[in-house]
Structure 1
Amino acid sequence: MSITSFELKTYLDSLLRTNEIADYCPNGLQVEGSSRVQKIVTGVTASQALIDAAIAKGADTLLVHHGYFWKGESQPIVGMKKRRIASLLANDINLFAYHLPLDVHAELGNNRQLGELIGASDITAAANAKPSGVVMHGKLESEHTTASLQQKLSEVLKRSVLAEGDSSAPISTVAWCTGGGQNFIEQAAELGVDAFVTGEVSEQTIHTAREMGIVFFAAGHHATERYGVKALGEHLHSHFDIDVEFIDIDNPA
C-alpha cells in the first residue's frame, strides 16, 4: 500500500494537533522528498546514522521526534546539517518531525507510553504544567521503594538510571516528563506525588528534590523518548496498511 506525502502530512498534523501547540521547531514535513509514501522508517532523532539506515532500508519517508531547524540554532546549511539534508534530498526521502505534539499526545505520546511502560494507572495530565500532557502522573500498579523502582526503570529502559532519595522510601504515586524535563520537578512536587521521573538531570535538580522531599530519577533522554514515535509508527501501519519500521540508534544520553 502507499499514500501521498500530502495525505500523511494532513493526517499527522491533525492527529497531533500541531496548530494548537507552540514549539521550538517546525512540526510536520521539514524536508520534502517523494510524493508517494510506501516505506516509513521511524526513530528518535534524524541523525546521519538514522538517515543512512533509512536509505539502506529503501525508505521514502523518515518520521522522527527530534528533527531540524530548532530555535536559536545556526541557520546556514553547512557541515553536518548540509550532509544530513543532502542525504535526504539525494535519496528523495521525506523528513517528518514532531516534537512537543508527540510528547503530549494523550494516547501515542512519549509521556503516555512511558507511563504505561512503568506500570502506571489512572494516568492524568498535570494541570499545573503546560502544554497539557507535558507532565503526567498516576499510581503504580504495586508499591515500590526508590531502589526497586530504579531497578524496574533500568530493566524496562535497558540502561542505568540515576536515583536521588532514600533507597527504602515507599513510592506508590509518580509523575514523569520524558526527555529534558528536569525543570518540571517543582510542578511534580506540587502534585504531592512520591517520585518524579524524567530523562536528564541538572545540578540544581538534586537540590530541588532534596528540599522539596520528592524522589528523583533521571532515566535518559533518548531512552525515555523511544516509545512515542514507535507507537505512532505502529498506528500509521494499522491505519494506512503501510510498511513502517522502527530503528533505534543507540544513544547513552
Structure 2
Amino acid sequence: MKRSDLMSHLNNLLEPHTIKDFSPNGLQIEGKDNITKIVTGVTASQALIDAAINHKADAILVHHGFFWKGESQQIVGMKKKRIEALIKHDINLIAYHLPLDIHPTLGNNAQLAKLLDITYEAGLELGSAKSIPVKGILNTPLTGSEFAQKIATVLNREPVTSIVRDEKIKTIAWCTGGGQGYIDLAAEQGIDAYLTGEASEQTIHSSREQNIDFFAAGHHATERYGVKALGEHLAAEHKLEVIFVDIDNPV
C-alpha cells in the first residue's frame, strides 16, 4: 500500500483536524513509500523501534509519538537515537494521540468500555462534540471492590482505588491515560465512579470529598487497545501484515 493512501485512509478515519492536540497527528517521520508490514504499539520507545527493525517493518503506528508541546526542540540523546534508527532503516513513524482516544469504535475509550462491559452514553464535557472523557452505564452493577477485581483480571494490572461508596456502581465516567483531572467533572454530574489510567495526589481527596469511587488502572494498561484495534482494522481492510508489540510498562 502506498504511504500516501494509508495516510489518507487514517486521516479520514480518525479526523485529526477536528481536535486540538499536544503533538502532531499522522506521519511524524517519513520512511519508505510502499508499506506492507506495520508494527503497532502504545509508545514509540526505543524498544518498540528495535522490535520493528527486527520484524523488518515498513512503518510503526503508535498512540504516543514524538514532538510534544513544551518539550525541547533539540534532537539529542534519546530522541536522536530513536530518530536515527527510524531514518537508518527507512521506517515510517505514524502517531495518533487524542484522535485515537476518542474514536467511537476503535478508540481507547471505546475499546476499554468493551473490555469492561460498559455502555457509552455521552461525552462528559457537556456541549463538546469531541469530549475526551465520556460517561455511561456499567451493564452489570458492581461494588467498588468487585469492579476493582474485574479491572485487575481483564487488564492484568491491580488498579489504584479510592472506594468511598457502599452502593453498587451503576453510572461511570472514564478517560484512558492521564485523565485524572476529569474526576471533578464526573463528580459534578453525580456519577458513581470515575476510571482513568493515572492518579495524582489530589485525585484521592477529590474522590473522598465528593463521594465518587475512583480507579486508576494504569496509563499503559488502559491505552493498549486502541492502537491494537486500529492495526487489526488495517489488516482486515487493506490486507496489510500488522504485528502488535506490547512493551510492558507498569505505569
Alignment partner, residue 24 of structure 2? 26
Deviations 1:155-209 (A, max 9, x none): 1111111110237441111110000000011111223221000000011111111
Compared CA separation, residues 175 and 156, structure 1 to 2 (3 A): same
- Aligned AA (1:230): K
Alignment partner, residue 195 of structure 1? 193
The answer to whether the 8 A contact 1:39-1:242 is kept is yes
Specify which of 213, 225, 228 is matched with residue 226 of structure 2.
228
Q: Structure 1 runs of 4+ off > 3 angstroms?
A: 166-169
Alignment partner, residue 172 of structure 1? 170
Q: Distance in 2 between matches of 1:167 and 1:245?
A: 42
Question: RMSD between aligned alpha carbons?
Answer: 1.3
1:67-216 maps to which residues of 2 (within 5 A)? 67-128=65-126, 132-166=130-164, 168-216=166-214
Q: Distance in 1 between matches of 2:122 and 2:239?
A: 31
Q: Distance in 1 between matches of 2:65 and 2:128?
A: 22
- Aligned AA (2:96): Y
Specify the SS of the correspondent of 1:142.
strand
The answer to whether the 8 A contact 2:165-2:212 is kept is no
The answer to whether the 8 A contact 1:174-1:193 is kept is yes
Specify the SS of the correspondent of 2:27.
strand
Q: Distance in 2 between matches of 1:47 and 1:211?
A: 38
The answer to whether the 8 A contact 1:104-1:131 is kept is no
Deviations 1:21-62 (A, max 9, x none): 110100000000010000001000000000000111110100
TM-score (norm 2): 0.97
Specify the SS of the correspondent of 2:105.
coil
TM-score (norm 1): 0.96
Unmatched runs of 5 consecutive residues or more in structure 2: none
The percentage of counterpart residues that share the same residue type is: 55
Tell me, yes or no, if structure 1 residue 241 matches structure 2 residue 246.
no
The answer to whether the 8 A contact 1:112-1:136 is kept is no
Alignment partner, residue 55 of structure 1? 53
- Aligned AA (1:79): G
Specify the SS of the correspondent of 2:150.
helix
Q: Distance in 2 between matches of 1:42 and 1:67?
A: 11
Unmatched runs of 5 consecutive residues or more in structure 1: none
Alignment partner, residue 64 of structure 2? 66
Deviations 1:93-152 (A, max 9, x none): 000000000001111110111111110124432242856241111111211001000000
